[in-house]
Amino acid sequence: MACHFTRFALGSIKIIINISVRTKLEFNIAEKRHKNRLDRYLYEQITAVSRMYLYDLIRSGDCLVNGEPKVGGYHLQAGDAIEIAVDLSAETAMMPENIALEIVFEDAEIMVINKPPGMLVHPTKGVRSGTLLNALTYYLNYVGKSAPPETFIRPGLVHRLDKKTSGLMVIAKNPGSHKRLSKHFQHKLVGKKYYAVVEGLITEDFGKIEAPIGRDAEERVWLVSADGKPAETNFQIIKRLTDATLLELEPVTGRTNQLRLHCAHIGHPVVGDDKYGGREYARLCLHAYKLSFYHPIDNRRLDFELDLPKDFPFE
């Protein structure tokens, strides 16, 4: 089926409107942008959609630079021509929704929130509303807004939690703080600890789990794999229950589903994690209870800690 386009110019950006589903955007780089990555440039230019959505487009080859797909880390050069087709009608990450947030801390630069279990951090193809990003967009633009009224505040996701995992997350309220916090995460300057209730009784009081994690290309699932990326988790016993163990988990690396996969790998899957062998339960018993990081402006160390969730099993 043929597609028809209408073209018009907007400064150095040429917008091509596709009458089917996607809107095709073209960007021309007039001069060398020192150490400016492709993904970061697009995040700054296209604010109507989420970073994760743009990341997925780049990863799937739907973003072309000079006619060829490029990775997000590509450094832009003078004369580069970028083409990317964005489905603005499907992407609703920036749609404000009045959803209650449990705010642990907030100032002009950041927010720290306690994400509930069962809430997606950002929309997917199947779930386009009710996510943390929708809630944050509403709050930052209509409730706790500190910027001028005409300014759209885009929540800056510095890290993520699984849908089923609850706990502490730090959110940047402007691009500068997002950039600095992201560097802190990249350089392992952030401390994270989790509560987990796992199946069975673990005999060791503490230990380390080292098992590489990769993704099965055909099944599109994450798993412990010999050819995966190195992954390491420290654990310590808090309490042995009747047929389960309450643990403190500390991820040394940050692979997708790392804690759930590592617990299952040693034969003690997380309670409520039926995907990786845990029993059915009202929730996934994994909770990010401690978060420590440096403030993006004054560099003071901030430490946040939550209590053990009341809906965890205790006997």
Residues with catalytic roles: 162
One-letter amino acid of 275? K
**Residue among 253, 254, 278, 280 at smallest CA distance from 265:** 278
- What is the DSSP code (8-state) at residue 140? I
One-letter amino acid of 187? H
What DSSP line would sit under 196-265, residue for residue?
EEEES---SSEEEEE--EEEETTTTEEEE-TTSB--EEEEEEEEE-SSEEEEEEEESS--TTHHHHHHHH
Helix (H, G, I), strand (E, B) or coil at 43: helix
**Residue among 296, 308, 288 at smallest CA distance from 192:** 288
Both tokens assigned to 271:
């309670």
Contact yes or no for 165/185 (Cβ under 8 A): no
What is the CB neighbour count within 10 angstroms for residue 182?
17
